[in-house]
Amino acid sequence: MSETSVSGSGSGSGSSSGSSSGSVSDDNRGEASGGTTGATIELESLTKRYPGNPQPAVENVSMEIKAGETVIFVGPSGCGKSTTLKMINRLIEPSGGRIRINGEDVTDIDPVKLRRKVGYAIQSSGLFPHMTVAQNIALVPKMIGWSKARIRDRVEEMLDLVGLDAGEFHSRYPRQLSGGQQQRVGVARALAADPPVLLMDEPFGAVDPITRDHLQDELIRLQHELHKTIVFVTHDFDEAIKLGDRIAVLRERSHIAQFDTPEAILTNPADDFVSGFVGAGAALKRLNLTRVRDVGITDYPTVTVEDPLQDIFDRLRESGTNEILLLDRRGRPYKWLRRGDLMRARGSLARAGTLVHDTVTRDATLRDALEAVLTDNAGRVAVTGRRGTYEGVVDMETLMNSVHELLEADRLDALEHQHDLEETRATQTHTEQEGFGEVGGRA
Ligand SMILES: Nc1ncnc2c1ncn2[C@@H]1O[C@H](COP(=O)(O)OP(=O)(O)OP(=O)(O)O)[C@@H](O)[C@H]1O
Ligand SMILES: [Mg+2]
């Protein structure tokens, strides 16, 4: 999820009005031009006081978020995450400070205009129960005056994007969907008007861990395609590590305890509050940051169920390993076969060997891979590509070596960072002693 500037590509065929500034501030472009990607967000001394509360809920928050970046807010309950997020699209009006999107001050513009720049998805999807899936997704496009035909196409496109069959889900009501499906519709709705900015407030909080995992993977895939600027709130530090380009760890009143990359926060937490939040097992969490495609996938001897038995016997004998991987007709991992297995099963492939329990894709994290290796007793896990076809394996040794290397590299980075800081400090002290850089020198 790297930074990208506003550019035209992909979805939604807008009536291009020839405005090529790339700014999102042009609200008169008719139907917003398609394929807008992320915009920068700047918060400057943003403050919120709720009436009757002596303490502000959010106090003086300043941060800059790059275009195309995914930034995660984590922090304890009540620290002001939702309030900060909702001020970005002015669902909550700030009591002080400024908000700029792509350089444009949006603190005082019409909130309805803001909604087309900023999509919003929340926990438990927030869908309107009396509207169908299609009507929910069409909400913002309709509000900003898209034509019926364009809305219809867009709804279909969005359902496709989040992996729901348009024919099946178009006319259902939210209560006729599972939690995970509702969540997908929520994301589709937030993306419908193709806003450069997407705000998500614990969007996956209400689903089971497995569905959550899927939805997270999907968000990563979407973001690879769309390059929106995403601000995402969660309680779950593991979720933050998995999704974030940078993480803002917030303490009370949304004061920023640390705002940095997941690697930096894991290996170099700013203070005890942050370490407390990172929690135990930083080394294991590090596994969430690396994907199978980043480590060595190795070849492994395979045969298929369509091979003649004699070939399978030969292959078993030839291969240096005492096990081979049996693929099904479509080339998908099916069983681990050992030498004795075929004999004992009297040459029946249906009876021989151990079923493959678990496979991973190249996008899986090393943590998923480790999990799979540990639960399958083969000591390795098969990696699959499109339609589940076999591509190679990752074994325990590769995993251990990678983790070792990662941690070592992190340690060196942290040392270097430390060194840089000390150097900067030394230079500062030096400059001050020389009598330069004193602020008071105005008189
Ligand atoms: N409408 C409101 N009126 C008064 N106080 C409010 C209002 N909404 C939130 N607060 C207070 O502002 C503070 C921040 O609330 P906020 O919802 O932003 O927290 P949060 O970090 O999102 O918490 P959680 O993780 O529990 O969702 C809390 O102390 C909360 O009680
Ligand atoms: Mg909240």
pLDDT at residue 272 in the model: 87
Phi and psi torsions of 143, nearest 5°: -60, -35
- pLDDT, average across residues 324-334: 94
Report the nearest-CA residue for atom 3 of ligand 1.
Answer: 50
Pairing type for strands 302-304 and 256-260 reads unpaired
Q: Which atom of ligand 1 is nearest to the CA of 80?
A: 18
Compute the distance between CA of residue 363 and CA of residue 360 in angstroms, rounded to an integer.
Answer: 8
Per-residue pLDDT tens digits for 403-443: 888 777 777 776 777 777 778 778 877 776 765 544 444 43
Report the nearest-CA residue for atom 16 of ligand 1.
Answer: 80
Phi and psi torsions of 29, nearest 5°: -80, 15
> Which pTM does this prediction carry?
0.68
Q: Work out the angle at residue 270's Cα, subtended by the Cα atoms of residues 269 and 273, and round it to the nearest 5 degrees.
A: 85
Compute the distance between CA of residue 233 and CA of residue 62 in angstroms, rounded to an integer.
Answer: 17
Locate tokens 């997908």: which residue? 184
SS3 for 296? coil
Q: Which of 40-54, 181-195, 203-217, 277-291 has the highest mean pLDDT?
A: 40-54
pLDDT at residue 37 in the model: 81
Report the nearest-CA residue for atom 1 of ligand 1.
Answer: 50
Residue ranges lining ligand 1, Cβ < 6 Å: 50, 53, 57, 77-83, 235
Q: Token pair for residue 138?
A: 């069409």
Using the mean position of ligand 2's atoms as its centre, give its distance from the Cα of residue 59 in Å: 16
Per-residue pLDDT tens digits for 126-154: 899 999 999 999 998 998 889 999 999 99
What are the residues whose beta carbon lies below 5 Å from ligand 2 (ion)? 82
Compute the distance between CA of residue 219 and CA of residue 222 in angstroms, rounded to an integer.
Answer: 5
Using the mean position of ligand 2's atoms as its centre, give its distance from the Cα of residue 82 in Å: 4
